[in-house]
């Protein structure tokens, strides 16, 4: 059995929330240890251009921004490690976390910044252009700007899909919305909003067959009418997937209060979870905004809340 390591402040996850929490915790002499998780840097590592984060006048790539955040956290003494949390036990006064099913940590405070993963269709062509950064996205607010005056396709039928389609309609020449069934899952008011928007074309009973392109960038989307079997090609430079996000919170479900989708429920106006000494920042608790800047803000809150919690124990 490996030796148990005692840690004052453990940060699980390494996106903007995790790294910001680390910066604040390190500066407060909390000696934070951060485990990067299965996707070091989080969702932003799949984003080519970030132009809406304050301070980057000319924009920055997602991977470059994450490297800079990591270096800033390390500059103040954060111990950044490879590995991911596979099990926790928050039943006692000491918070136990296991890394890679082997290493056991006993933590005075834990900051969860495990984020959420966008759901994709899983098509090989979709994944190809997602990896290439050539036209596939799961965030219209993040990437819509790059498709100004162009034609795009969006997949989804819920409130988020309608919201993103409406957002894109203000930037793009045309938005084609693919809905698999004969009805929306969105609220009536959101459905009416997209139906009334002139440059949004809604194709019911349609599902994506393939994302087409030249190998580098998207040029069209092949869709199938599920009622008739007809195949059509829709010219598009952007393909947006809005079928939901899955918070990466599975290992916490037996110990923390989660909502019906799996997002961690925090005490309003704070980063506090249902367990004293355990805090949350970023997309693991945020199904509304899901932006790098809001994640960073809640990461700061988590570190400050953890610092105050430790001070109250002295």
pLDDT digits (tens, 9 = 90+) for 253-280: 999 999 999 999 999 999 999 999 999 9
pLDDT at 156 (0 to 100) = 95
In the sheet with 218-225, reading across from the earlier edge strand, the strands are 206-213, 218-225, 231-235
For residue 195, give both structure tokens. Answer: 């139906």
How confident is the model over 1-52, as pLDDT tens digits? Answer: 568 999 999 999 999 999 999 999 999 999 999 999 877 767 776 666 788 8
pLDDT at 268 (0 to 100) = 96
**Start-to-end CA span in the chain (Å):** 31
List the catalytic residues.
Answer: 139, 142-143
**What is residue 217's three-state secondary structure?**
coil
Q: List, in sequence order, the alpha helices (H) in the chain.
A: 16-27, 62-75, 124-132, 140-143, 159-169, 188-195, 292-313
How far apart, in whole angstroms, are the C-alpha atoms of residue 113 and residue 285? 9
| Helices and strands (H and E) in the chain: how many | 7, 17
For residue 286, give both structure tokens. Answer: 């945020």
How far apart, in whole angstroms, are the C-alpha atoms of residue 110 and residue 302? 9
How far apart, in whole angstroms, are the C-alpha atoms of residue 256 and residue 263? 10
With vertex at residue 39, the alpha carbon angle to CA 216 and CA 145, rounded to the nearest 5 degrees, is 45
pLDDT band at 113 (very low <50, low <70, confident <90, very high): very high
Q: What pTM was estimated for this model as a whole?
A: 0.82
- Cα distances from 291 to residues 17, 109, 218, 308, in angstroms, run 10, 25, 24, 26
Number of Cβ within a 10 Å radius of residue 264: 25
* Ordered domains of the chain (ranges, CATH): 5-117+245-313 (3.50.50.60), 120-241 (3.50.50.60)
CA-CA-CA-CA dihedral for 217, 221, 222, 224, to nearest 10: 150
């Amino acid at each position: 059995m490996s030796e148990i390591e005692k840690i004052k402040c453990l940060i699980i996850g390494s996106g903007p929330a995790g790294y910001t929490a680390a910066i604040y915790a390190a500066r407060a002499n909390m000696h934070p240890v951060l485990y990067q998780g299965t996707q070091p840097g989080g969702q932003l590592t799949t984003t080519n251009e970030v132009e809406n984060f304050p301070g980057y006048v000319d924009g920055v790539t997602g991977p470059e921004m994450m490297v800079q955040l990591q270096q800033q956290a390390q500059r103040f003494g954060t111990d950044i490690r490879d590995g991911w949390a596979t099990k926790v036990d928050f039943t006692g006064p000491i918070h136990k976390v296991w890394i890679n099913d082997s290493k056991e940590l006993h933590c005075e405070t834990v900051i969860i910044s495990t984020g959420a993963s966008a759901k994709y269709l899983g098509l090989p062509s979709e994944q190809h252009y997602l990896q290439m950064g050539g036209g596939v996205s799961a965030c219209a607010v993040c990437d819509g700007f790059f498709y100004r005056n162009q034609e795009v396709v969006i997949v989804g039928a819920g409130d988020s899909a309608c919201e993103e389609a409406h957002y894109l309609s203000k930037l793009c020449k045309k938005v084609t919305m693919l809905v698999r069934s004969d009805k929306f899952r969105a609220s009536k008011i959101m459905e009416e909003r997209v139906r009334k928007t002139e440059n949004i074309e809604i194709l019911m009973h349609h599902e994506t067959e393939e994302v087409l392109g030249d190998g580098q960038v998207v040029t069209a989307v092949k869709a199938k009418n599920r009622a008739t079997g007809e195949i059509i090609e829709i010219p598009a430079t952007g393909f947006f997937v809005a079928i939901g996000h899955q918070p990466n919170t599975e290992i916490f479900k037996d110990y923390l209060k989660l909502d019906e989708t799996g997002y961690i429920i925090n005490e309003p106006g704070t980063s506090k979870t249902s367990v004293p000494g355990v805090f949350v920042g970023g997309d693991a608790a945020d199904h509304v905004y899901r932006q790098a800047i809001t994640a960073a803000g809640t990461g700061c809150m988590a570190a400050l809340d953890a610092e105050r919690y430790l001070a109250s124990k002295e």
